[in-house]
């Protein structure tokens, strides 16, 4: 491998090639420390031309490439697997952010730009990039696009796919495909950028993007409500959509058990009397006068008997305190020992029956395990997490398959937001009909015949055909 590493050193320069094991180590393990794997080197190109040259060299030497952004992915997609020689290609040096066009409402950025920084730049010219994740201080635009990330405002604005107007990508042979157009309308044939959105680096490396921005919402109103059951929560969502739907930015669900954990494990106080479920509702607008519309909607909700108790934030500080309850659910769970995480989505009308079945099956399978359920109700996205404690109880090994089987029966998805990576690929293969699998494999083989782009992630292809 010496000629390979020498070639890399020549085309990337000293800042672009890392072979020191201590410096490489953080790139070889994922954020949750569930996966790790070896790599020959970590490449840190500083430009699209350097990415292209490095990819060509990898192709010549048959070395596979694992693209990496902020390494905050939750499916092990950015971690090498040790299936043949691999390098990690980090976009960490490609962080340029162009000047936003506030009237065209677009901004062009390099793939390594940090999401939070891009949001700050957009805010600086009165626009917003409404992709909101707890990891936004580290996640990169390339990673966000490659995982088609969601977050807290999908209900209103959609997923990352809805913001990527144009992409520049480096293909597995090193060719640069430049589609950096700031166009909202472009039906001139097949729109290839969609192949690269959400495919977790399996087809190529995203090096830059043109992102759509939205008008800034300067006013928001936040309420925390409790309801007696899930049908009431879903009817409440309908009521908000009927009355102030275009301002509805978040409709988050927290189970009573999850709220108890936040109170006991994180020391936060919930100001609302218990129901079976809590809802954190946010409406936002660029127009003032939102608070009145929110109050009228809440009055209607109480009048219809949908809400048991509730509070409306009277200040930005109170709004932040209500959000803190939702934001601490994961932290509270992590203080209870080990847990199994399931990031699923399903049609709202199937949700109650699905959760009843999960509860019943869990009681049979692992009665000592506890459910911790929360999620983005407005998107049909639930985190069905199962707390195992310090020592996993008997039956724990069957829990994930049980949850996923029930999701498949309900017509849902076993990965609403986080992708498949190496974490959920086996389960996807088990539950996905053959036609869907063959289609994905066929496209992978056509674009990456030598299987050099992130093998074994997102698509079940680990090597070239024999
Ligand atoms: C605390 C926390 C909260 C989170 N909340 C959410 C959430 O609410 N919603 C959500 O959707 N996700 C969430 N995530 C997951 C994660 O933040 C997102 O998936 C994010 O988009 C990953 O960005 P990244 O730059 O860290 O990508 P990485 O983790 O580095 O990579 C993720 C995948 O994309 C590929 N990739 C990265 N960059 C490129 C590129 N330039 N070209 C091609 N492929 C590339 C990698 O190979 C890998 O397969 C959360 C993660 C954490 C740790």
Taking the CA of residue 67 as reference, the ligand 1 atom at the shortest distance is 47
- For 193-244, give the DSSP string: HHHHTTSTTSS-EEEEEEEE-EE---EEEEEEEEESSHHHHHHHHHHHHHHH
Q: What distance in Å separates the CA atoms of residue 219 and residue 285, rounded to the nearest whole number?
A: 5
Q: What distance in Å separates the CA atoms of residue 316 and residue 290, rounded to the nearest whole number?
A: 14
**What values do phi and psi take at 114, rounded to 5?**
-75, 135
pLDDT category of residue 233 using cuts at 50, 70 and 90: very high
pLDDT category of residue 212 using cuts at 50, 70 and 90: very high
pLDDT at 127 over 80: yes
DSSP helix/strand/coil, 74:
coil
Q: Are 452 and 463 in contact (CB under 8 A)?
A: no
Q: What distance in Å separates the CA atoms of residue 53 and residue 74, rounded to the nearest whole number?
A: 29
Residue to substitute in 26, 109, 149, 448 for testing ligand 1 pocket (most ligand atoms within 8 angstroms of CB): 149
Taking the CA of residue 32 as reference, the ligand 1 atom at the shortest distance is 53
pLDDT at 465 over 90: no
**What values do phi and psi take at 234, rounded to 5?**
-70, -40
Q: Are 374 and 258 in contact (CB under 8 A)?
A: yes
Q: Whose CA is nearest to atom 15 of ligand 1?
A: 73
Taking the CA of residue 454 as reference, the ligand 1 atom at the shortest distance is 47
69 lines ligand 1 (CB under 6 A): yes
Task: Report how far ligand 1's centroid is from the alpha carbon of 457 (Å).
Answer: 13
Other beta carbons within 10 Å of 435: 8
378 lines ligand 1 (CB under 6 A): no
pLDDT category of residue 394 using cuts at 50, 70 and 90: confident
How many CA atoms does the CB half-sphere of 428 hold within 13 Å? 25
276: exposed, middle or buried (Cβ count in 10 Å: 0-12, 13-18, 19+): middle
**What values do phi and psi take at 194, rounded to 5?**
-65, -20
pLDDT category of residue 274 using cuts at 50, 70 and 90: confident
Residue to substitute in 26, 29, 68 for testing ligand 1 pocket (most ligand atoms within 8 angstroms of CB): 68
Q: What is the mean pLDDT of residues 186-211?
A: 97
Query: Could you tell me whether strands 86-90 and 42-43 are parallel, antiparallel, or unpaired per DSSP bridges?
Result: parallel
pLDDT at 395: 86
Q: What is the mean pLDDT of residues 309-321?
A: 97
418 lines ligand 1 (CB under 6 A): yes
Q: What domains lie within the chain, and their CATH numbers?
A: 106-215 (3.30.465.10), 219-330 (3.30.70.2190), 336-418 (3.30.70.2740)
pLDDT at 326 over 80: yes
DSSP state of 415: -
Q: What is the mean pLDDT of residues 135-153?
A: 96
pLDDT at 271 over 80: yes
Q: What is the mean pLDDT of residues 196-212?
A: 98
pLDDT at 376: 96
- For 2-59, give the DSSP string: HHHHHHHHHHH-GGGEE--HHHHGGGGB-TTS--B---S-EE--SSHHHHHHHHHHHH
pLDDT category of residue 390 using cuts at 50, 70 and 90: confident
Mean residue pLDDT across the chain: 96
146 lines ligand 1 (CB under 6 A): yes
DSSP state of 348: G
86 lines ligand 1 (CB under 6 A): no
pLDDT at 156 over 80: yes
386 lines ligand 1 (CB under 6 A): no
Q: What is the pLDDT of residues 15-69, one digit of tens each?
A: 999 999 999 999 999 999 999 999 999 999 999 999 999 999 999 999 999 999 9
pLDDT at 224 over 80: yes
37 lines ligand 1 (CB under 6 A): no
* Residue closest to 281 by CA, chosen among 314, 309, 249: 249
Q: What is the pLDDT of residues 83-96, one digit of tens each?
A: 899 999 999 999 99
Q: What distance in Å separates the CA atoms of residue 176 and residue 119, rounded to the nearest whole number?
A: 27
Cα dist from 120 to 124, 153, 160, 259, 433, whole Å: 6, 17, 17, 31, 43
200 lines ligand 1 (CB under 6 A): yes
Q: Which carries the bigger pLDDT value, residue 355 or residue 389? A: 355
pLDDT at 466 over 80: no
- H or E element, residue 252: strand 248-255
Taking the CA of residue 417 as reference, the ligand 1 atom at the shortest distance is 11
Radius of gyration of the chain (CA): 23
Q: What is the mean pLDDT of residues 118-147?
A: 97
16 lines ligand 1 (CB under 6 A): no
Q: What is the pLDDT of residues 68-77, one digit of tens each?
A: 999 999 999 9
Taking the CA of residue 30 as reference, the ligand 1 atom at the shortest distance is 29
142 lines ligand 1 (CB under 6 A): yes
């Amino acid at each position: 491998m010496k000629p390979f590493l020498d070639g890399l050193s020549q085309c990337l320069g000293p800042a672009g090639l890392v072979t020191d094991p201590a410096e490489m180590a953080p790139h070889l393990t994922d954020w949750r420390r569930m996966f790790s794997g070896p790599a020959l080197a970590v490449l840190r190109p500083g430009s699209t031309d350097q990415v292209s040259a490095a990819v060509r060299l990898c192709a010549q030497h048959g070395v596979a490439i694992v693209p990496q952004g902020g390494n905050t992915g939750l499916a092990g997609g950015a971690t090498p697997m040790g299936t043949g020689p691999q390098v990690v290609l980090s976009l960490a040096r490609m962080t340029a952010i162009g000047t936003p066009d506030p009237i065209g409402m677009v901004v062009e950025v390099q793939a390594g730009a940090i999401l939070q920084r891009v949001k700050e730049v957009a805010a600086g010219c009165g626009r917003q990039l409404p992709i909101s994740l707890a990891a936004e201080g580290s996640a990169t635009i390339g990673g966000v696009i490659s995982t088609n990330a969601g977050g807290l405002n999908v209900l209103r604005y959609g997923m990352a796919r809805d913001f990527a107007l144009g992409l520049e990508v480096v293909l597995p042979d090193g060719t640069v495909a430049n589609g950096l157009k700031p166009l909202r309308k472009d039906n001139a044939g097949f729109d290839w950028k969609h192949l690269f959105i959400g495919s977790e680096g399996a087809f190529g490396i995203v090096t830059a993007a043109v992102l759509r921005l939205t008008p800034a919402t300067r006013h928001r109103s936040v309420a925390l409500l409790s309801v007696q059951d899930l049908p009431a929560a879903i009817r409440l969502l309908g009521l908000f959509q009927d009355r102030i739907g275009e301002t509805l930015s978040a409709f988050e669900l927290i189970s009573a058990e999850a709220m108890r954990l936040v109170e006991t494990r994180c020391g936060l106080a919930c100001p609302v009397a218990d129901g079976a479920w809590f809802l954190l509702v946010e409406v936002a607008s660029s127009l003032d006068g939102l608070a009145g519309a929110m109050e009228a909607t809440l009055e209607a909700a109480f009048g219809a008997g949908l809400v048991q108790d509730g509070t409306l934030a009277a200040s930005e500080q109170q709004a932040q305190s209500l959000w803190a309850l939702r934001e601490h659910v994961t932290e509270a769970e992590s203080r209870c020992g080990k847990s199994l995480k399931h990031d699923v989505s399903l049609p709202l009308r199937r949700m109650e029956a699905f959760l009843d079945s999960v509860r019943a099956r869990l009681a049979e399978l692992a009665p000592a395990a506890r459910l911790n359920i929360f999620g983005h109700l407005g998107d049909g996205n639930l985190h069905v997490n199962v707390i195992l404690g310090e020592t996993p109880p008997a039956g724990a090994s069957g829990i994930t398959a049980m949850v996923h089987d029930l999701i498949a029966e309900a017509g849902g998805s076993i990965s609403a937001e986080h992708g498949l990576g190496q974490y959920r690929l086996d389960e996807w293969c088990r539950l996905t009909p053959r036609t869907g699998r063959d289609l994905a494999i066929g496209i992978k083989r056509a674009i990456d015949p030598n299987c050099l782009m992130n093998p074994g992630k997102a698509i079940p292809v680990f090597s070239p055909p024999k």
